[in-house]
Structure 1
């Protein structure tokens, strides 16, 4: 019995070591996402019937003075905000027989101006991005950031860099047209481009030299113990040429750097999804709740700051996924609103229902895919 309790409740156990960090990470990300919908919806004059973290049976909750039911539900894999009049995915301004009183219709979601509905839907992913920016800004303010000059100290034998003619002592000027200032910039621009021929402009003996190299994927282990594939060209920096140094930031500078870093993550994630759809990325790079739980447990062991950084990375990923133009995701609703703006009338209920069902099937298929990856595929 003692061994069982230790396995369950110790910091390395299932409950305290894995489930608690996992729920903390997931609930923070979901709460911030849904709070975005809630706050902007309220600001637009839309009534809110329920704010839920999780799905399924309600575990606990309360009603606020506006009549909104705030609740925590049994299945913590998401959440939702139920607006007044938001009866179904096909709710639209053309509805008249909706069973609402005149007062309720004035604050119903589907009777609002198009921009208000679009802003309310977009606010969820936006708040996910803002959470990531806030976390990075605090981290940069407290700890700063280590950077190194974009210099080549060593070129690995037989590597893409050697084949391209890159030499020790070269300095990176740009990668595929994008100027670089640090060695981390080079790694960022190369890491997601395995198999792509990239143009590197190098500074050599005072002259610029243009070379082409094709990064090759290499399996590495990140700080949380995940096996990841990162594209490399086979160059190494060192302390002599790289001159690593700590950059400190004022709060304003930290915020600006956090915005840039979040933008880089969004760009890399979009690039990955595009390459994945084309069959050019390893399927094992995608994981679901089981993988997130494992990462949460490892982050918790490393310390609270690692757990917060994981929240930031997961938050921006959730924001991006929700903006994909697939119903029932937020991006799918925004797609409907874009069509409505162009044709100056809502999409027909029949078409919305058809597209919604197709999108739901696609989402469920994707969820099944990542679950399979978690349990059996990788």
Structure 2
């Protein structure tokens, strides 16, 4: 609960920036083509703060419902317009000018994403190296022969520098193909190719971590099985285990390292484990009952302990990634394009049933991710903001009436028919659009609640 204000603040900043940028895109385009802007509002509903500025005395406002915003322009369809200003009305503009104004909002979101990625790529970030851990039995990674400590160099010939690169490439490829070739190098410098079957990535409708379902886990060095931290009130703490205890055996089987211990606990949800520990040169027997936890569709065991690992070992698994201004710009554009295309592909697969609607996220999940990314650091937070900005841009370009994409669809119809749709047709289509948006929002909100209570 103490983190709630921080998470809310992180969410409000993301939401505020994206709304302002989106609406400013509409505003700037309208001013550029000569349309008079009456109001620029962050939020909907009753205005709670306003100030008039500029030659046109545009009303800059904050409204009571913050999930969105709007730019109100001079328009003869919404009220009488003086003859001297009719040339500045939105409805008097050419189809091209109106389309530019409508498209400028989503385009501003894409431009913001490019800018944010560019800043992150120049600033640089600490990234995990793509080093693999021992995969669980019977997973695609285990069947492909993946071994602990192997570092991925390429996926289907594309270079992999970080763990995020690996996640993104595997996710992209799993959407469209069944097999991927992972070129890996082991700790002895030997290069191998692991042929990974990707179908399991989408076994649960793409909800959750696709890498986990494939058995691609981050490397855990072979640390001694020494307890470095206990969860207060957890099963291990209740049983009498202490920080510094060295786990020697579980249920009579020798434990060689921390990873052996973790696998043993995970595979025994709800079971009583007979643990042999070394403490102050003495061997002690301790019974610990593992707690069953649901993790990505299956039940595992946990006892509330963490390994005593060194800062040096963590540094060896990280790399600092940064680029020069020109290379960063090219990479930022590519990143924005790839994420936009992927969003459209996933939306298409939702419509065909290949991807679960559980992937839709609402404000609660976005607020959670905003807070988590902010805690990880500025680079993670800016990348999260860029991703949400892309999602907002893509969503607004969908041909759904009441969205920007719906208005662009009207303009295309107007070009083909050489006259606009009738007001009655637009009214009906907008009612349909509102219904579609309501259903999508209901799905997203339901998913938020489901994630909240299941966690």
- Aligned-pair distance for 1:297? 3.0
Q: Residue 11 of structure 2 aligns with which residue?
A: 22
Q: Which residue of 2 aligns with 1:187?
A: 167
The counterpart of 1:42, out of the listed 20, 28, 31, is 31
Structure 1 pair 196–267 and aligned structure 2 pair: CA distance change class (3 A): closer
For residues 18 and 152 of structure 1, the distance between their equivalents in structure 2, rounded to whole angstroms, comes to 31
Unaligned runs of 5+ in 1: 1-6, 89-97, 221-226
Partner residue in 1 for 2:301: none
Pick the aligned partner of 2:140 from 136, 160, 164: 160
TM-aligned CA deviation for residue 198 of structure 1: 2.5
Cα shift at 1:187: 3.2
Aligned pairs for 1:62-211 (under 5 A) are 62-65=51-54, 66-85=56-75, 87=77, 99-143=80-124, 157-161=137-141, 163=143, 175=156, 179-182=157-160, 185-191=165-171, 197-200=177-180
Residues 81-138 of structure 1: per-residue CA shift (max 9 Å, x gap): 00100746xxxxxxxxx62222222011111011111111111011111111111111
> How far apart in 1 are the matches of 2:377 and 2:123?
16
1:213 aligns with 2:197: yes
Pair 247,86 (structure 1): closer, same or farther in 2 beyond 3 Å = farther
For residue 72 of structure 1, give the secondary structure of its aligned residue in structure 2: strand
1:55 paired with 2:55, answer no
- The equivalent residue for 1:320 is 394
Q: Which has the larger radius of gyration?
A: 2
Secondary structure of the corresponding residue to residue 228 of structure 1: coil
Q: 1:191-232 CA distances to partner (integer Å, 9 max, x unpaired)? A: 25658643435779xxx9996723313899xxxxxx823256
**Matched length:** 347
Residues 86 and 255 of structure 1, relative CA distance in 2, 3 Å threshold: farther
For the residue of structure 1 that corresponds to 2:18, the secondary structure is helix
Are 1:49 and 1:68, in contact at CA under 8 Å, matched by a contact in 2?
yes
Contact 1:85 1:104 in 2 (8 A): no
Q: Using a 3 Å threshold, how does the CA distance of structure 1 residues 86 and 139 change in structure 2: closer, same or farther?
A: farther
Is the Cα contact below 8 Å between 1:199 and 1:210 reproduced in 2? no
Counterparts of 2:61 and 2:386, CA distance in 1? 24
Where relative contact order (Cα < 8 A, 6+ residues apart) is larger, the structure is 1
Kindly indicate whether residue 331 of structure 2 is the aligned counterpart of residue 257 of structure 1: yes
Consecutive unaligned residues in structure 2, runs of 5 or more: 185-191, 221-316
